Amino acid sequence: MSLSEVDDEGVTLTDGTRIATNTVVWSAGVVPSPLMASLGLPTQRGRVEVGPDLAVRGAPHVWALGDAAAVPDLAVAGRGAGAGRRPFTPPTAQHAQRQGPVAAANVTASLGIGAGRTYRHRDLGLVADLGGWDAVARPLGVPLTGPVAKAVARGYHLLALPSLSARVRVATNWLYASVLPTRVARLDLVRRGDALIARAQGIEDAGGPPA
């Protein structure tokens, strides 16, 4: 069941049920691109099925990774996946990014350069920055909340940035944001035509006077 309509006084579900409310909280899920299901390749919940080497089953010289692929989670399998845990890596940037070098190594190995690899990750925990001084973290299985979790979450995010200059810029921005009032953006200065997706894609000349 999903929402078919939201208005000022409530929501309507797809079966016609009406729920009166003034508050609607929306959260986005992640679904694989519908392209995957149309390729004629084996899929798991819309993701192309691959082996631990990211090679698509039954399709020589084809690899898949990231959100598009159902990659066996060897770390979970090692702990006994049966207990309600899905044996595939979840669709997150953490996995997509780490699967990239593995896929690249296996493509080059198939061309006779270097050795092939399997994708295996070590789960060091999770961090989630919730805004303000709120955060949750579970580094190495230790549950944390509040400012301590915030420090861990921000420390991890800084480490994940790809260069020193990016880290300095982001850290400086956080420092400013902690002592200065919130910045205000004037969106009405953007010309209405420039804000169209069609304009960004270059398929329509959407010029016009400022809104």
Ligand X SMILES: Cc1cc2nc3c(=O)[nH]c(=O)nc-3n(C[C@H](O)[C@H](O)[C@H](O)COP(=O)(O)OP(=O)(O)OC[C@H]3O[C@@H](n4cnc5c(N)ncnc54)[C@H](O)[C@@H]3O)c2cc1C
- Asked whether position 66 contacts ligand X by CB under 6 A, the answer is yes
> Which range in 17-25, 64-72, 165-173, 184-192 contacts ligand X by CB under 6 A?
64-72
User: Which of 31, 35, 130, 148 contacts ligand X by CB under 6 A?
Assistant: 35
> Minimal CA–CA distance to 144: which of 158, 157, 130?
130
- Asked whether position 96 contacts ligand X by CB under 6 A, the answer is yes
Residue nearest ligand X, CB atom distance: 66
User: Which of 4, 21, 33, 145 contacts ligand X by CB under 6 A?
Assistant: 33
- Give percent helix, percent strand, percent coil of the chain, each to the nearest 5: 35, 15, 50
Cβ at position 128, least distance to ligand X in Å: 7
Site for ligand X in 138-167 (CB under 6 A): none
User: Which of 1, 20, 30, 140 contacts ligand X by CB under 6 A?
Assistant: 30
H or E segment to which residue 173 belongs:
helix 164-179
Nearer to ligand X, 56 or 68 (CB): 68
Residue 127 buriedness (CB in 10 A; 0-12 / 13-18 / 19+): buried
State the Cα–Cα distance between residues 134 and 169, nearest whole angstrom. Answer: 22
Within a 10 A sphere around the Cβ of 49, how many other Cβ atoms?
Answer: 20
User: Which of 49, 53, 67, 73 contacts ligand X by CB under 6 A?
Assistant: 67
User: Which of 93, 130, 160, 200 contacts ligand X by CB under 6 A?
Assistant: 93
- Asked whether position 28 contacts ligand X by CB under 6 A, the answer is yes
8 A C-beta contact, residue 47 and residue 88: yes
Within a 10 A sphere around the Cβ of 202, how many other Cβ atoms?
Answer: 7
The three-point CA angle 29-35-38 to 5° equals: 125
x/- mask, ligand X, residues 171-190, rule CB under 6 A, reads: --------------------
> Minimal CA–CA distance to 116: which of 44, 51, 204, 160?
51
> Which range in 27-35, 115-123, 150-158, 160-168 contacts ligand X by CB under 6 A?
27-35
Q: Binding residues for ligand X, per CB under 6 A?
A: 28, 30, 33, 35, 66-68, 91-94, 96
